[in-house]
Amino acid sequence: MKISFKLLIAGIIAFGIAGCDNDAIYKEEHYKPQVYLLSSGTENVFIASYSLNEEDPVQYVTIGCGGSNTNEKPIVVNLEPNPEMLERYNSLNYDYENQYAKLLPESRYEISSYTVTLPAKSDYHYERIPVKVRPEGLSPDSVYFIPLKIVSVSEYDVNEEKQDILFRVAIENDFATQYPETYYTKSGQMTSPTLVLSGTKTVHPLGKDKIRMFIGNEAFTAFTTPEDIARSSVVVQIHEDNSVTVLPYDSSLMEVEMLSNLPDYNRYDPELMQGLTKQRVFWLNYQVRQRSTPTGNFGAWREVEERLIRLED
């Protein structure tokens, strides 16, 4: 009995020691702390959408520290612009220079400081640098980047695969987003010749109260050229009372006149109830005529009656 009691006590002590060892295991760092810039994909792109309906909107570059435990020391991280990264991106992704993504002009954005400190023993493993952008006038047909890289850290190492970032600046308004693209289902008709409007339509943001779209059933694709856009696009301006005016995108190639053939058209309804669902709907009625060159002859007037319902995510 004495031997069994001693064995029991020894087992309890051993179990207690093992439990302490298990606690120690969880306190150890199993993953090497590394500082990184938050992005996605192998090309290290981070997409930030800026609202044209806000004055000087702000988004953020995120700097993190990976590891199974929080960092024991504060980490001072210094960044700087990295235009060479954009040059590599363009050479790998595009065949022609006119397709290249663009460096966002310095006059268009403000980064007040390129230095950030990750505090020690924080509940969070990251800090953010604000990037203020002036989006008015940016084209929905261009890709804009602010390329950045980590140049130094006060503690630990930098994750070499996530040490730089292509911070993409996209634009949006209350009616459409550049990324991801916004689609509306269309229904209606167009005259001369008669054309039934159906399918979906890509709609791009232009200003805080303007969107751009193709007329009729023409589709916006990866092969669409600036000439296609100039020749076949209209701009819809939404007024404060939700009435709308349709305008030519390029007045040298197109003329537009508003019509009133249908009651309650030429308006935007942001909360049309369909059963239990709210829909955002444009009702358009106008006529348009086009010419292929600024000095050519205009074709016949074509009347448009169109309803557009936004496809929600």
Give me the tens of pLDDT residue by residue for the chain, a chain 313 residues long. 444 544 444 454 444 444 444 454 444 445 678 999 999 988 999 999 999 999 989 999 999 998 767 788 899 999 999 999 999 999 999 988 989 999 999 999 999 999 999 999 887 889 999 999 999 999 999 999 999 999 999 999 999 999 999 999 999 999 999 999 999 999 999 999 999 999 999 999 999 999 999 999 999 998 899 999 999 999 999 999 999 999 999 999 999 999 999 999 999 999 998 888 899 999 999 999 999 999 999 999 999 999 999 999 7
Shared domain for 134 and 63, answered yes or no, is yes
Distance between CA atoms of residues 18 and 24, nearest Å: 10
Look at residue 278 in the predicted model and tell me its pLDDT. 92
Shared domain for 117 and 206, answered yes or no, is no
3-state secondary structure of 141: coil
CATH code for the domain of 298: 2.40.128.420
Is 28 within 8 Å of 55 (Cβ atoms)?
no
Shared domain for 166 and 206, answered yes or no, is no
Q: Does residue 156 belong to any structural domain of this protein? A: yes
Distance between CA atoms of residues 67 and 159, nearest Å: 11
Shared domain for 168 and 40, answered yes or no, is yes
Look at residue 250 in the predicted model and tell me its pLDDT. 97
Look at residue 94 in the predicted model and tell me its pLDDT. 92
Shared domain for 167 and 218, answered yes or no, is no
- What are the E-state strand segments in 239-310? 244-248, 254-258, 267-274, 277-290, 302-310
Residues in the chain: 313
3-state secondary structure of 94: coil
Nearest alpha carbon to residue 289 among 302, 271, 305, 277: 302
Distance between CA atoms of residues 304 and 254, nearest Å: 14
Q: Does residue 4 belong to any structural domain of this protein? A: no
Cross-strand pairs, 289? 255
Angle at 209 between CA 203 and CA 214, to 5 degrees: 25
Q: Does residue 90 belong to any structural domain of this protein? A: yes
Q: How far is CA 145 from the centre of its chain?
A: 12
Look at residue 121 in the predicted model and tell me its pLDDT. 86
Is 197 within 8 Å of 216 (Cβ atoms)?
yes
Q: Does residue 86 belong to any structural domain of this protein? A: yes
Calculate the alpha carbon distances from 259 to 107, 213, 250, 269, 302 in Å.
41, 18, 20, 18, 11
Q: Which strands form 109-110's sheet, in the order they lie side by side?
A: 109-110, 126-133, 58-66, 34-37, 157-158
Task: State which of 172, 199, 226 marks the end of a domain.
Answer: 172
Q: Does residue 189 belong to any structural domain of this protein? A: yes
Shared domain for 286 and 193, answered yes or no, is yes
Shared domain for 46 and 74, answered yes or no, is yes
Task: State which of 172, 202, 228 marks the end of a domain.
Answer: 172
Structural domain of residue 162, as residue ranges? 34-172
As for how many domains the chain has, the answer is 2
Q: Does residue 11 belong to any structural domain of this protein? A: no
- What the block records as the tokens of 106 is 């310095």
Shared domain for 159 and 39, answered yes or no, is yes
Euclidean distance between the first and the last CA atom of the chain, given in angstroms as a whole number: 73
Is 199 within 8 Å of 185 (Cβ atoms)?
yes
Distance between CA atoms of residues 185 and 307, nearest Å: 8
Is 79 within 8 Å of 113 (Cβ atoms)?
no
Shared domain for 245 and 277, answered yes or no, is yes
pTM reported for the whole predicted model: 0.87
Shared domain for 237 and 124, answered yes or no, is no
Task: State which of 151, 172, 193 marks the end of a domain.
Answer: 172
Q: Does residue 205 belong to any structural domain of this protein? A: yes
Number of CB atoms found within 10 A of residue 80's CB: 12
Look at residue 31 in the predicted model and tell me its pLDDT. 65
**Rg (the chain; Cα; Å):** 29
Look at residue 18 in the predicted model and tell me its pLDDT. 44
Q: Does residue 111 belong to any structural domain of this protein? A: yes
Look at residue 307 in the predicted model and tell me its pLDDT. 97
Shared domain for 164 and 43, answered yes or no, is yes
Shared domain for 46 and 133, answered yes or no, is yes
